[in-house]
Structure 1
Amino acid sequence: MEEEEEASKPALPDAFLDFLKENGLDPSIYSESHSTPRYIRLKPGLEARIEEIEAEIKWKLEEVEWLPGFYALPPDVQIANSNAYREGKIYGIDAASGAAVSALDISAGDHVLDLCAAPACRTMLQKYALGNRCRLFVADGTNFSLIPRRVHSDPKSCESALEENLTFKEWTSRRPWKERKQAARIRKSDAVRSGNQLPDLIYYGCHSGVVGLTKSELYQTFRDDEYLSYGYDKVLVDAECTHDGSIKHVQKFEQWGWETLQRRVLDAERSDSLTVLQLKLLTNGFRLLKAGGILVYSTCSLTVAQNEDVVKQFLEGHPCAELQVIDAAENWPCKNGRVPNTLRFDPLTSKTSGLFVAKFSKLTI
């Protein structure tokens, strides 16, 4: 039995083992996928339908005691073909990622910005019918600048209003051809004038504050100090990274070839460019935060450079940022990071994928 288990472990290349040693990581975490559960989240409001959902996926759900709304399944249980999944009753998300979101302590009425949302976000909002109060942009997260609520600006001249007026109507994925052409023309004109492409609004809910706005009202700009009053209550910066904390992702390199891992994870130039990007994303997310607001920075990397080093560099340049204790983490199965008040999840300790989490508040100085 022991020999069979040893044979099932991935034969990690020496360069990757050196990489793990440099970051104080135990290579055995990459052999734990066979015992790391699959996690799902139940759509809010469906708590009374657990037995029905269990019948659909043909397995009894195990409640994750330390994270409300989350359930664990054996890693080999498939959910994609079940009615529960197709109908948006459940969706797959690792418990560590759920913990990072819960660290924001979101309350009713909060304006929340997910600065690094995945391209599939629109599909998920529509599938799970959770997007009534959401708006989704395709934009560069390092310079995104739109505020969460409508603020009336100074009246424009009649000529300017006529040129820029594009009133947003109820959302439809099939906008009339003339409207799409007009919007494309305006975006192109703006890009030529400013040298920058405006964020592309690709989805908005009926209660997102967009319906009835003109294009000029939606895209108005503000001074940095105005974000202290009009910024977001909560910001999530789940930054792009090397994904080395994702055990299943690393194991794919066995099929893709370890040369690909060298290029995507171990290459020093790529790693340096990522840490620059991560710091820019964290900095801009914090800029958009209102005074007293909360920001959570996370990555699915376990490296020091992409986590603690980015946090320390950010704090050095932002005296109004303060790392906060994550109160809920008292019951979480995770370790402390190398910077006080930061946390790390990993397959050995947490039975989750790898994740780093840091929580900041914005002080008024």
Structure 2
Amino acid sequence: MDAEANSSNFPLPEAFLEFLNQNGIDPSIYAASDSIPRYIRLKPGYETYKEEIEADVGCKLEKVSWLPDFYYLPPDVRIASSKAYQEGKIYGIDAASGAAVLALDISVGDHVLDLCAAPGAKLCMMLDILGSSGSVTGVDVAKHRLAACRSMLLKYALGDHCRLFVADGTTFSLPPVSANLVSESRNESEEVYKEWKSWRPWKERKREAIAREKGLSKVFSSTQEPELIFYGTNSGVVGLTKNKLYQRAHCGYVFEFGYDKVLVDAECTHDGSIKHIQKFEQWGWTTFQRRVLDAERTDDLAILQLQLLTNGFKLLKVGGFLVYSTCSLTDAQNEDVVDKFLSENSSAELLEIDAARNWPCKSGRIPKTLRFDPLTSCTSGLFVAKFTKLAI
């Protein structure tokens, strides 16, 4: 594909067109932005409010036939100012991201780990599916981004079975809280976690607000202890001592009592996200060059992605499911990572995603992996692979 020939058709810098050419990505996907609808998920229990929500947002909610509880709207509709959004009846989440969550096959009572939880829409969907059972542990390396997840949980009243840790996803090693930990005897002098309060010191709130405004992310060292910034009443934290909560599990314990489901929606170059790429028209293409096109950064990302996938798999119990996804369309961040991971983990088996039979997506280079893209799927770009852990 000739990058120069395409440069006049799309408002993209020449260097990015060359990046797409090198990775075999069709630049025309970025011209499809006006035809990609805005997707929302209707919070379970609010189906009877559909007509009221339609009047509120000023258009019909068209059902996504292949994804339960998802609807699409015209791309220019803004939902943030709507009463339905402000009251937590709907939230925005791309249909491809919803498919990645659905691929986990979350069941009642599951303990789920979201290893790269921010910005939080997938976290909300997991909790919606679980209802009043199980637990979700959300982890993210950036405190201000995880604080935004916390705000979403409070807004949508979904945090009762959730806990959030600021931590390095490549080294996070805390298992789900089990009943035996809560009931275990403790020293009388040890303080226990009581019900979480939303009040936080003014200085902490100010720091987080400044970080959000500047797009800053605190660099979290892999040697630091995870920081618990939120926990729901029924997340398994209340009644525990700090020592019990931060007790790392040995390998044999994780095999039997690890997470039932793990989502690793890894940090990537986001080249498959049309809306993300469009933001660089405001942010500046110099920033884009550094974040997306820099060869050293993309090499580092592939290493990080493998580390995240490997650690997520370590925390998965035998027979559990792990989904790896990125919103990149490059092989280097997707199939190449999967190939490397499978070669290093004999207990990992790549699975067919049963629900995908009716999904509007393509097979990846590796059989059983999937790719969503704007032209094929009318969604943002997303790669999805599903694994299970074998007892060997």
Aligned equivalents of 1:344 and 1:7: distance in 2? 25
Return the offset for 1:157.
Answer: 9.2
SS at match of 2:17: helix
- Alignment of 1:353 with 2:376, yes or no, is no
2:195 alignment partner, one of 133, 154, 170:
170
Return the offset for 1:224.
Answer: 1.8
Aligned equivalents of 1:75 and 1:247: distance in 2? 12
Query: Any residues of structure 2 matched to 1:183-198 within 5 Å, and which?
Result: 196-198=223-225
Name the counterpart of 2:108: 108
The residue type equivalent to 1:170 in the other structure is: E
- Alignment of 1:40 with 2:65, yes or no, is no
Residue 294 of structure 1 contacts residue 362 of structure 1 at CA under 8 Å; is this kept in 2? yes
Change beyond 3 A, Cα 1:336–1:283: same
Name the counterpart of 1:87: 87
SS at match of 1:252: helix
Change beyond 3 A, Cα 1:349–1:58: same
Aligned equivalents of 2:186 and 2:85: distance in 1? 51
Change beyond 3 A, Cα 1:9–1:108: farther
The residue type equivalent to 2:385 in the other structure is: A
Return the offset for 1:171.
Answer: 1.2
Residue 323 of structure 1 contacts residue 341 of structure 1 at CA under 8 Å; is this kept in 2? yes
**Residue deviations 1:198-220 (CA, integer Å, cap 9, x gap):** 21111111111111111111111
Name the counterpart of 2:167: 139
- Alignment of 1:315 with 2:374, yes or no, is no
With 299-308 and 252-261 compared, the bigger mean Cα shift is at 252-261
Aligned equivalents of 2:115 and 2:287: distance in 1? 28
Name the counterpart of 1:211: 238
**Structure 1 vs Structure 2 CA RMSD:** 2.2
Name the counterpart of 2:369: 342
**Residue deviations 1:271-322 (CA, integer Å, cap 9, x gap):** 0111111111000000000000000000011111010001000000001001
Residue 182 of structure 2 contacts residue 239 of structure 2 at CA under 8 Å; is this kept in 1? no
Name the counterpart of 2:328: 301
Aligned equivalents of 1:250 and 1:274: distance in 2? 18
Name the counterpart of 1:244: 271
**Residue deviations 1:101-148 (CA, integer Å, cap 9, x gap):** 000010100000001011221111111011111111111111111111
Aligned equivalents of 2:283 and 2:227: distance in 1? 34
Residue 163 of structure 2 contacts residue 231 of structure 2 at CA under 8 Å; is this kept in 1? yes
Name the counterpart of 1:97: 97
The residue type equivalent to 1:135 in the other structure is: R
Aligned length: 339
Name the counterpart of 1:31: 31
Return the offset for 1:260.
Answer: 2.2
Name the counterpart of 2:122: none
Return the offset for 1:154.
Answer: 12
Aligned equivalents of 1:255 and 1:171: distance in 2? 39
**Residue deviations 1:11-50 (CA, integer Å, cap 9, x gap):** 3223222211222211100011110000000011111211
1:262 alignment partner, one of 257, 280, 289:
289
Name the counterpart of 2:54: 54
Return the offset for 1:261.
Answer: 2.0
Residue 182 of structure 2 contacts residue 236 of structure 2 at CA under 8 Å; is this kept in 1? no
Change beyond 3 A, Cα 1:51–1:223: same
The residue type equivalent to 1:101 in the other structure is: V
Q: Which runs of 5+ in 2 are unaligned?
A: 1-5, 119-145, 203-221
* TM-score where L is the length of structure 1: 0.88
Name the counterpart of 1:11: 11
- Determine which structure has greater relative contact order: mean sequence separation of CA pairs < 8 Å that are 6+ residues apart, divided by chain length: 1
SS at match of 1:140: coil
Change beyond 3 A, Cα 1:267–1:169: same
Name the counterpart of 1:182: none
* TM-score where L is the length of structure 2: 0.82
The residue type equivalent to 1:166 in the other structure is: E
- Which structure has the larger Rg? 1
Aligned equivalents of 2:117 and 2:283: distance in 1? 26
**Residue deviations 1:240-263 (CA, integer Å, cap 9, x gap):** 111111111112223333222221
With 324-333 and 16-25 compared, the bigger mean Cα shift is at 16-25
- Alignment of 1:76 with 2:101, yes or no, is no
Aligned equivalents of 1:258 and 1:155: distance in 2? 56
Aligned equivalents of 1:169 and 1:156: distance in 2? 17
Residue 7 of structure 2 contacts residue 14 of structure 2 at CA under 8 Å; is this kept in 1? no
Return the offset for 1:176.
Answer: 9.3
Query: Any residues of structure 2 matched to 1:117-128 within 5 Å, and which?
Result: 117-118=117-118, 119=146, 120-128=148-156
SS at match of 1:132: coil
Return the offset for 1:8.
Answer: 10
